[in-house]
Amino acid sequence: MHPPLSLIFFFLTAGTSIGLYIFMYAIEFLQLFGKGQGLPKEVILKMGILELILIGLGAFGASFHLGHKLRAWKAIKRFRTSWLSREAVFSGAYGVSLLVYLALNQLGANPFFEHFFGILTFVLGVLSGFSTAMIYASNKFVLEWNTSITVIYYLLMYLMLGSTLMAYFSYLYNLPYLGTFIFLSFLFLALGLGFRLAFNIRQFYLKRPTMNEALNLPHNRPIRVIDTGSTTDNYCTEEFYYRKGKEMLSTVIPVAYLLTFVVPLFLVLYAWITGTANTWILGLTYLFVLVGSALERWSFFVEGNHVQNLFYSLYPEEGYRLRKGYMERKETKISLY
């Protein structure tokens, strides 16, 4: 699949915004039960404004992959069936709810309403991330994406972005949660790495359809494309098969793994074990996760193979296999879950 840069930008901004808010509000929420000391109001204001700016930038950036940006508001119409519609609604509602929460928090109004909107923003943020991940995970024609692993590690990456930035802010504003967030960064980085590996390993065991199944021909009949009807590429071959990206993928994936997971894990471990937390280490951890996530998202798109590529013979060839003397017909039924 061709990676849309605006969607990668949305992932980074919305991921940081929602991830940071989740941890920021979690501290405030725990304070209700007498755990921890909460956050100073000015820190909440600074972080809140950053979250608002980021989600705003994300929404603006994501509109660049639309053909008609001014009609984007119409995306609320099919909330009942479309994950993209749900994402648009939840992201928008998250931004508005966050603004209300910040206002109530700063004005020191009724704590019930403050926490009501705090919890609402929290839930909307998680739902927004979940809906975005479901756009990919529910697409049963890109088998690499069509799994619950996509959703889990998508949300874990939001938490990675949030926890590493929160660790940095904990140091910057001298908050008493530095140790907690260094541990949480490590935890989510390790979990993220595990699920990303699972996502990649799963691809080796995918039962892929063949061109014979696409054309509904007997499965043991050799078939090849002679002509695709045009001398140049068309929308389908460009959107669903990114030739240049496929060539670069084997280089980009290891770099993405290194930058997103391995280097930040070492940095966090170093800070944890030696107790030497400083702006450089914690700032670099977040930056590495940020840059790595952009490459990771890019790889995620390029790794996806759309089944329509079968008609152009651009799908990974697996074919039928000879087993114990007979042609084994592969299991090709694709289910949503």
Partner 1 sequence: MAQFALVIDLNTCVGCHACATNCKEWNTQAAFGPLSDFDPYGANPEGVWYNRIMTYETGEFPNTQVFHLPKSCLHCQDAPCVPVCPTGASYKREQDGIVLVNYDDCIGCKLCSWSCPYGCREFDEADKVMKKCTLCIDRIYDETLPPEHRKPACVLTCPARARFFGDIEDPNSEVYKVIEERNGFVLFPDMGTNPANHYLPRIETKINLEEFEKHILKPDNPLFLEVMKRHHVSNKAPQEKQVEEVG
Q: Quick check: 318 binds partner 1 (CB under 8 A)?
A: no
Closer CB to partner 1, 231 or 250, in the complex: 231
Separation CA 74–CA 77 (nearest Å)? 6
306 lines the binding site for partner 1 (CB under 8 A): yes
Count of other CB atoms within 10 angstroms of residue 134: 18
Task: At 131, give phi and psi (nearest 5°).
Answer: -65, -40
Rg (the chain; Cα; Å): 23
Minimal distance in Å, beta carbon 126 to partner 1?
A: 20
Stretch that binds partner 1, among 115-123, 163-171, 248-256, 308-316 (CB under 8 A): 308-316
Q: Which member of 34, 204, 205, 232 binds partner 1 (CB under 8 A)?
A: 232
> Burial letters for 268-288: b for 16+ Cβ neighbours within 10 Å, e otherwise?
beebeeeeebeeebbbbbbeb
The tokens 């790495």 sit on which residue?
Answer: 193
Number of residues that bind partner 1 (CB under 8 A): 57
For the CB of residue 281, give the shortest distance to partner 1 in the complex, in Å.
Answer: 40
Backbone φ and ψ for 47, nearest 5 degrees, come out as: -65, -40
| 147 touching partner 1, by CB under 8 A | no
Within residues 77-106, the interface with partner 1 by CB under 8 A covers: 77-78, 81-85, 88
Is 243 an interacting residue with respect to partner 1 (CB under 8 A)? no
Report d(CA 149, CA 140) in Å as an integer: 14
Report in angstroms how near the CB of residue 311 gets to partner 1 at its nearest. Answer: 6
DSSP collapsed to 3 states, 154-182: HHHHHHHHHHHHHHHHHHHCCCCCHHHHH
- Residue 213 touches partner 1, criterion: CB under 8 A: yes
Q: Is 328 near partner 1 (CB under 8 A)?
A: no
Among 57, 72, 206, 252, binds partner 1 (CB under 8 A): 72
Structural element, H or E, at residue 119 = helix 111-137
Going residue by residue from 12 to 51, which x/- string records binding to partner 1, judged by CB under 8 A? Answer: ----------------------------------------
Does 207 contact partner 1 by CB under 8 A?
A: no
What DSSP element (H or E) covers 133?
A: helix 111-137
Can you tell me the distance from the alpha carbon of 79 to that of 81, in angstroms, rounded to the nearest whole number?
6
Q: Is 65 in the site for partner 1 (CB under 8 A)?
A: yes
* Binding flag, residue 127, partner 1 (CB under 8 A): no
User: Quick one: 74 exposed, middle or buried, by C-beta within 10 A (0-12, 13-18, 19+)?
Assistant: exposed
Q: Quote the tokens at residue 114.
A: 């403050």
d(C-alpha 288, C-alpha 282), whole Å: 10
Candidate residues 161, 189, 259, 307; the one interacting with partner 1 per rule CB under 8 A: 307
* Nearest to partner 1 of 28, 303 (CB atom): 303
Please report, as ranges, the residues that interact with partner 1 according to CB under 8 A: 1, 65-69, 71-72, 74-78, 81-85, 88, 135, 139-142, 209, 213-217, 221-236, 239-240, 306-309, 311-312, 332-334
